[in-house]
Chains A and B, each alone.
Chain A
Amino acid sequence: MSLFSFAKKTFRGGVHPFEHKEMTENLAFEIMPDPPTVIVPLSQHIGKQATPIVKKGSVVSLGSVVAEPQGFVSIPIHSPVSGKVMNIHREPNTSGYPKDAIIIQTDTTIEGSEKFEPLNYETISGEAIRERVRIAGLVGQGGAAFPTFIKLSPPDGKKIDYVILNGCECEPYLTRDYRLMLEKSEDVVVGLNLIMKAVGVENGIIGIEDNKPEAIEKLKGVATRFKNIKVEVLETKYPQGAEKMLIRACVGREVPPGKLPMDAGVIVQNIGTATAIYDAVVKGEPQLYAALTVTGKGINSPKNLMVKVGTPLQEVLDYCGGVKEEAVKVIVGGPMMGIAQFDFSAPVMKATSGIVVLTKEEVNEHPETPCLKCGKCIEACPINLVPTKLSRYSQLERYEDAEDLNITSCMECGTCTFTCPANIPLVQWIRLGKQKVIELQKEKKTA
Chain B
Amino acid sequence: MELFIIFISAAVVNNFVLAYFLGICPFIGVSNKLSSASSMGMATTFVMVLTAIVSYLLYNFILVPFGLEFLQIPSFILVIASLVQFVEMVIKKISQPLYRALGIFLPLITTNCAILGLALFISMRDYNFIESVIFGVGAGAGFTLALVIMAGIREELELADVPKGFRGAPITLITAGILALAFMGFAGMI
Residues of chain A whose beta carbon lies under 8 Å from any beta carbon of chain B: 370, 389, 392-393, 396
Q: CB-CB < 8 A to B161: which residues of A?
A: 370
The 6 closest A-B pairs by CB, nearest first: A392-B159, A396-B159, A370-B161, A396-B158, A393-B159, A389-B159
Q: How far is the CA of A396 from the CA of B160 in the complex (A)?
A: 10
Closest chain-A Cβ to B96's Cβ sits at a distance in Å of: 24
Which B residues touch A389, using CB under 8 A?
159
Main secondary structure of the interface of A (DSSP, over half): helix
Chain B binding surface, main DSSP class: loop
A392 to B161, CA, bound (A): 11
Closest chain-B Cβ to A368's Cβ sits at a distance in Å of 13
Chain B residues lying within 8 Å of A370, measured Cβ to Cβ, are 161
Q: Which of B133-167 touch A at CB < 8 Å?
A: 158-159, 161
Contact string against A for B residues 97-131, beta-carbon threshold 8 Å, 1 for contact and 0 otherwise: 00000000000000000000000000000000000
Complex interface: chain A residues within 8 A of B158 (CB): 396
Distance in angstroms between the alpha carbons of A392 and B155 in the assembled complex: 12
Closest B residue by C-beta to A389: B159
Chain A residue at minimal CB-CB distance from B160: A370
How far apart are the CA atoms of A370 and B161 in the complex, in Å? 9
The smallest C-beta distance from A184 to any residue of chain B, in angstroms, reads 51
Complex: A171 Cα to B161 Cα, angstroms: 35
Bound CA–CA A396/B159 (angstroms): 8
Binary interface encoding of chain B residues 22-47 relative to chain A, with 1 for a CB under 8 A from any of its CBs, else 0: 00000000000000000000000000
* Bound-state Cα–Cα, A370 to B159, Å: 11
* B159: chain A residues within 8 A (beta carbon): 389, 392-393, 396
**B residues in contact with A393, CB < 8 Å:** 159
* Interchain Cβ contacts under 8 Å between A and B, 6 examples: A370-B161, A389-B159, A392-B159, A393-B159, A396-B158, A396-B159
The size bracket of the interface on B is: under 10
> What's the Cα separation between A396 and B161 when bound, in Å?
11
A216 to B158, CA, bound (A): 51
Measured CA separation A156–B52 after assembly (Å)? 66
Q: Considering only CB atoms, which chain B residue lies closest to A395 in the complex? A: B159
- Of all chain B residues, the one with the shortest Cβ separation from A388 is B159
Bound-state CA distance A274–B161 (Å) is 51
Chain A minimum-CB-distance residue to B161: A370
CB distance from B5 to the nearest CB of A (A): 38
Closest to A392 in B: B159
Looking at the assembled complex, report how far the CB atom of B106 sits from the nearest CB atom of chain A, in whole angstroms: 27
Query: In the complex, A396 Cα to B157 Cα: how many Å?
Result: 12
Kindly state the separation between the CA atoms of A423 and B158 in the bound complex, as whole angstroms.
Answer: 21
> Closest CB-CB distance, A405 to chain B, in whole Å?
12
Q: How far is the CA of A392 from the CA of B156 in the complex (A)?
A: 11
* Min distance, Cβ B154 to any Cβ of chain A, angstroms: 14
Complex formed: what's the CA distance from A393 to B161 in Å?
A: 13
Q: Which residues of B contact A392 (CB under 8 A)?
A: 159
Complex CA–CA separation, A31 to B161 (angstroms) = 55
CA distance A327 to B107 in the complex (A): 66
Give the distance in Å from the alpha carbon of A389 to the alpha carbon of B155 in the complex. 12
Query: B158's closest neighbor in chain A, by CB?
Result: A396
Shortest CB–CB separation between residue A179 and chain B, in angstroms?
46
Alpha-carbon gap, A418 to B143, bound state (A):
43
- Bound Cα distance A396, B158 (Å): 9
| A393–B159 alpha-carbon span in the complex (Å) | 8
Closest Cβ of chain A: how far from B77's Cβ, in Å?
40
Alpha-carbon gap, A257 to B5, bound state (A): 49
Nearest neighbor of A373 in chain B, beta-carbon distance: B156
- The distance in angstroms between the C-alpha atoms of A442 and B40, with both chains bound, is 34
How far does the Cβ of A10 sit from chain B's closest Cβ, in whole Å?
33
Task: Give bound CA distance, A102 to B159, whole Å.
Answer: 48
Q: Smallest distance from the beta carbon of B151 to chain A beta carbons, Å?
A: 14
Closest Cβ–Cβ distance, residue B156 to chain A (whole Å)? 9
Q: How far is the CA of A414 from the CA of B120 in the complex (A)?
A: 60
CA distance A389 to B159 in the complex (A): 9
- Once the chains are docked, how many angstroms separate the CA of A163 from the CA of B171? 57
Q: Distance in Å from the Cβ of B159 to the closest Cβ of chain A?
A: 5
* Interface membership of chain B positions 71-84, coded 1 if the CB is closer than 8 angstroms to chain A and 0 otherwise: 00000000000000
CA distance A392 to B159 in the complex (A): 7
Roughly how many angstroms separate A204 CA and B102 CA in the complex, as a whole number? 57
| Minimum C-beta distance from A412 to chain B (A) | 22
- Give A343 Cβ to nearest chain B Cβ, in Å: 36
| Shortest Cβ gap from A365 to chain B (Å) | 22
CB-nearest residue of chain B to A370? B161
Cβ contacts under 8 Å, A396 to chain B: 158-159
Q: Smallest Cβ distance from A430 to chain B, in angstroms?
A: 15
- Tell me the bound Cα distance from A396 to B162 in angstroms: 14
What 1/0 mask marks residues of chain B from 156 to 183 whose CB sits below 8 Å from any chain A CB?
0011010000000000000000000000
- A393 and B158 CA atoms in complex are apart in Å by 10
- Chain B residue nearest in CB terms to A371: B159
